[in-house]
Amino acid sequence: MDLGAITKYSALHAKPSGLILQYGTAGFRTKAEHLDHVMFRMGLLAVLRSKQTKSTIGVMVTASHNPEEDNGVKLVDPLGEMLAPSWEEHATCLANAEEQDMQRVLIDISEKEAVNLQQDAFVVIGRDTRPSSEKLSQSVIDGVTVLGGQFHDYGLLTTPQLHYMVYCRNTGGRYGKATIEGYYQKLSKAFVELTKQASCSGDEYRSLKVDCANGIGALKLREMEHYFSQGLSVQLFNDGSKGKLNHLCGADFVKSHQKPPQGMEIKSNERCCSFDGDADRIVYYYHDADGHFHLIDGDKIATLISSFLKELLVEVPVYCTKTGVKHLHHKAQEFDIGVYFEANGHGTALFSTAVEMKIKQSAEQLEDKKRKAAKMLENIIDLFNQAAGDAISDMLVIEAILALKGLTVQQWDGLYTDLPNRQLKVQVADRRVISTTNAERQAVTPPGLQEAINDLVKKYKLSRAFVRPSGTEDVVRVYAEADSQESADHLAHEVSLAVFQLAGGIGERPQPGF
């Protein structure tokens, strides 16, 4: 480790005085102008992680569904999963170190994790379409090269595509080819094979309107659409040609506001979906004959996929985890087949190696009907991006299942009925004052908050409410549901006031009305 060179380069990526950041569920996120030093240091950390794991590590420059002025960075571990928790702590420590402490922190990490500094390192880098992303990616590269790491810069990618590249490189190509062409071909081939087996019931002409949040998803979906066009026609909106990233559009906007994105005309019963800014979330929606908006979120996506797999397999158990894909991903890995989605539309399905092998062998040996089911499963496995939640992959899975089952969007929506609900967020000085238990369904601190929530819930029928600290910003997220929308709205507002009063709310007190 050339400490002199690191010190010299670090001075070119100086840390702003007094800035403290936390590596959370989504990595680091803040205003883009505050991130140059973080990017350089994450390049350094990626090299150490690569040396320690003797694997390719990914670095993604994105702030996902955040406003265009923000940016962020997260590291991707060898099998495409989120960074290990102990290394999240290293990331926070390194990002917040003062210049004079940089050498010590790097040595401490190396010693604590028994990093062989003579080991080769390889890092792959991707970025979204934000104006700040290209320059920040170069800062990552500076960090990688000063520690002697090798790198490949993929340039513009969706976040799930970078996860895919890391997974492919660390499995010797067994999962797929680590190129954008390999990604397009793997998913599209599985999708076309699946939809060939569909009857003409349901929506005979498969077409879909896609809101791309003015982000990277538009660019990549446009590149990919000719690969699967015989099975699905997509019409892109908010494609980045005008409008700001995630502004009045995208999956987070549609989910939070429960209305369509700006710039998309929706006819009655047309199937529509929205990606978020880096295309790792997806939600569906439609207008019924009376013009009412219907949201189909991650819960109903998971139900559609699970029910389809259940028909082909056996009973599916259900488990709860803390909010965040990294928690869901780890729980799903405990099973032969795991389907996980957050309500915000972030999720995928995982299949164990043993199950994949068994299904592929069965497809050749079973009688016709069972062989057809095994072949469907084989294609479903190939269609999922098992490295990460992926809006493009999930969209193709959903469209294939709807075609195979002959379901319209209304029939899918009718699988079950959601209770009316409302999600809000409350600004607080420090989100860490809230801690939770029971898969984030009960608040442990601050004292008195859970008791206040319990008392409020008792006032309404069929009601419940949860609060949790955001993983990306100093806000507390509030969820409430009840027997009517009016009751859900009132409950959400009252819980928000309790959070504001007991958890150090800042700014304007939460106001009623949505």
DSSP one-letter string for 444-484:
EESTTHHHHHHHHHTTSTT-EEEEEE-SSSSEEEEEEE-SS
CATH number of 421-503: 3.30.310.50
The reported pLDDT for the residue numbered 204 is 55
In the block, residue with structure tokens 């490949």: 152
Residue set of the binding site for Mg(2+) = 64, 276, 278, 280
> What pLDDT, on the 0 to 100 scale, is given for residue 393?
96
**Do the Cβ atoms of 56 and 150 come closer than 8 Å?**
no
Q: What is the pLDDT, as a whole number, of residue 337?
A: 74
Reported as type and span, the H/E element at residue 257 is helix 251-257
Q: Which two tokens stand for residue 468?
A: 């949790």
Kindly provide the residue ranges of all beta strands, DSSP E only, lying in 103-211, ordered along the sequence. Answer: 122-127, 150-156, 207-211
The Cα-based distances of 385 to 237, 429, 457 in angstroms read 24, 37, 39
Question: What percent of the chain shows pLDDT beyond 90?
Answer: 75
Give pLDDT < 70 ranges for the chain. Answer: 199-205, 314-336, 340, 351-369, 514
Annotated active-site residue in 10, 50, 64, 463: 64
Contacts of 112 (CB under 8 A, 6+ apart): none
- The domain segmentation of the chain, as residue ranges, is 3-156, 180-414, 421-503
Give the pLDDT score at 31: 95
**pLDDT at site 64:** 93
Going by C-alpha positions, the residue among 173, 75, 181, 73 that lies closest to residue 472 is 73
Which residue has 């050749």 as its token pair? Answer: 364
Q: What pLDDT shows up at residue 202?
A: 45
- Which residue from 343, 344, 498 is spatially nearest to 428, judged by alpha carbons? 498
Query: What per-residue string of b and e applies to 197-230 under the rule 16 or more CB within 10 Å gives b?
Result: ebeeebbeebebbbbbbbbbbbbbbeebbebbee
Q: What is the pLDDT of residue 460?
A: 97
CATH number of this structure's domain 3-156 = 3.40.120.10
The amino acid occupying position 236 is L
Residue with tokens 């690191």: 6
Amino acid residing at 193: E
Please say if 64 is a catalytic residue. Answer: yes
pLDDT recorded at residue 484: 95
**Residues annotated as binding site?**
64, 276, 278, 280, 342-344, 468-472, 477
CA proximity to 240, closest of 284, 278, 183: 278
Closest CA to 93 of 52, 137, 42, 36: 42
Q: Which residues are annotated as a binding site for substrate?
A: 342-344, 468-472, 477
